[in-house]
Structure 1
Amino acid sequence: MTLYGVGLGPGEADLVTVRGKRVLEHADVVYSPGRLSRSVALEHVDESKIGDLDFPMTKDEEKLRTAWKAAAAEVAPRAMEGDVAFVTLGDPNVYSTFGHLRRTLEAFHPDVDLEVVPGVSAMTAFATALGVEVEAGAGLSLREAADGASPTGPGRMILFKVTDIPATHEGLVEAGYDVTYGRRLFMEQGETAVTDDPSELEERDYYTLAYAEKADLVVESATAAFERDG
């Protein structure tokens, strides 16, 4: 009798891990917090096993706490009687809605056994989608860039929730960064885009990230000598 937080990966059904798929197939009920995670879960389980939870789109903390308490009250008794999965895009412990449910359960239903099944996160899959190598010893900072924010400082950053690309781009370029954008990477829902032209992605989309690298950054890997010798 366990509640499993299952990471579904960035959105393509075949990027769910083997362990995650096994847990979904074994669970008595699979709870989904949203439409996109639900659609991925349905590639692995029958719709009759899906349980939807209602989370309001608001920043009102009182409404959010009420919603999470209601979700925990729904999930807890099911997890005490059998195995339950709560699915989320990406990884359950990386900027995920699952963290709110876990903390609420710990506060009000501490007897629920909990296990996390990690998933492929867009914050790691970006390297493949954008053709970026994060080599051994490299420094890479993860930052949020919603509503036009353009955090600066490290030589290389991965920014997520880039909802106002023109504003974010302006700030990053002024700070000396070269920027590449990726939208809906490895997602079956919506159109995938990779570009260094911010004008191509002016429409707001929550599932947009950016890779920013200082224009004057010098990275010398050990195997670079092979190119000179060749």
Structure 2
Amino acid sequence: MTVYGVGLGPGEADLVTVRGKRVLDAVDTVYSPGRLSRSVAREYVPESALGDLDFPMTRDPEQLRTAWRTAADVVADAAADGDVAFVTLGDPNVYSTFGHLRRTLSAFHPGVDVEVVPGVSAVTAFATALGVEIEAGTGLSLREAADGAAPTGPDRMILFKVTDAVATDEKLTAAGYDVRYGRRLFMEQGETVVTSDPTDVAERDYYTLAYAEKRGIERDLATAEFDDAGTERSA
């Protein structure tokens, strides 16, 4: 039988993909790693088909390994009797808890088939939420900025896990970046905030993103102009 890693999107139930919904309709059991992903899955799966797995928020390697092994054992046992799904916010392959489960299944339950169903990630949905255009040919880096970290170098960066926006903003501004912040973008749980003022998102929240762009970078946007007769002219 098969374990499906299903990306639920950023958190709004109607951003689950058609394929993801089809898998959730078909499997016998759906496991979630937390209340936010569970609340989205509940829109598509009856409560009786939902199961919880414990993935503790800790850096203790022994505690993490134990939790991953326990979760993999539970999922593998369920998959012996039918197809199951593991749901996660965003995309299963982008900074996701699912990666730990998949690697542990591969190590201890190599006979279990695993398939991934992509989901809309906040790391890509941020562009729409923040009103940012990432034009063709643009270089864009994805970095983590937890606890006031402020990576620099690339002209444009998406920063995730911005848990101390004020400290991050101070460092990035000094390094020559303009920064915009988005909190709980396309999420049904909690208040969505889009702002250029880091104090608006000063309270620690794991689901805060930032877009940082170096001031004064040159842009080469493809455009088309039209004369009065509607004939296209190159710009």
TM-score for the superposition, normalised by structure 2? 0.95
What is aligned with 1:108? 108
What is aligned with 2:225? 226
- Give 1:40-119 correspondences, 5 Å limit: 40-119=40-119
Equivalent position amino acid for 2:14 in 1: D
Structure 2, unpaired ranges of 5+: 227-232
What is aligned with 2:217? 217
CA deviation profile, 1:4-48 (whole Å, cap 9, x unmatched): 000000000000000000101111000000010000000111000
What is aligned with 1:26? 26
- The 1-side partners of 2:56 and 2:45 are apart by 25
- The 2-side partners of 1:194 and 1:229 are apart by 35
What is aligned with 2:188? 188
Equivalent position amino acid for 1:103 in 2: R
Aligned residue pair count: 229
SS of the equivalent of 2:225 reads helix
Q: CA deviation at 1:226?
A: 3.1
Task: State the Cα RMSD in Å.
Answer: 1.4
What is aligned with 1:134? 134
Equivalent position amino acid for 2:196 in 1: D
CA deviation profile, 1:75-114 (whole Å, cap 9, x unmatched): 0021122110000000000000000000000000000001
SS of the equivalent of 1:168 reads helix
Alignment of 1:205 with 2:202, yes or no, is: no
- The 2-side partners of 1:169 and 1:140 are apart by 18
Equivalent position amino acid for 2:167 in 1: A
Q: CA deviation at 1:135?
A: 1.2
Q: CA deviation at 1:197?
A: 0.7
Equivalent position amino acid for 1:147 in 2: D
Equivalent position amino acid for 1:14 in 2: D
- The 2-side partners of 1:211 and 1:30 are apart by 34
SS of the equivalent of 1:180 reads strand
- The 2-side partners of 1:105 and 1:229 are apart by 55
Q: CA deviation at 1:57?
A: 2.1
SS of the equivalent of 1:85 reads strand
CA deviation profile, 1:51-91 (whole Å, cap 9, x unmatched): 10112221100000000000011000211221100000000
Q: 1:229 to 1:113 in 2, by over 3 A?
A: closer
Bigger Rg, which one: 2
- The 1-side partners of 2:77 and 2:158 are apart by 39
- The 2-side partners of 1:57 and 1:213 are apart by 31
What is aligned with 2:230? none
Equivalent position amino acid for 2:106 in 1: E
- Give 1:4-15 correspondences, 5 Å limit: 4-15=4-15
Equivalent position amino acid for 2:206 in 1: Y
What is aligned with 2:123? 123
Name segments (4+ residues, structure 1) moved above 4 Å.
227-230
Structure 1, unpaired ranges of 5+: none
SS of the equivalent of 1:81 reads coil
TM-score for the superposition, normalised by structure 1? 0.97
Percent of pairs with identical residues: 77
CA deviation profile, 1:183-219 (whole Å, cap 9, x unmatched): 0000000000000011111111100000000011111
Equivalent position amino acid for 1:83 in 2: D
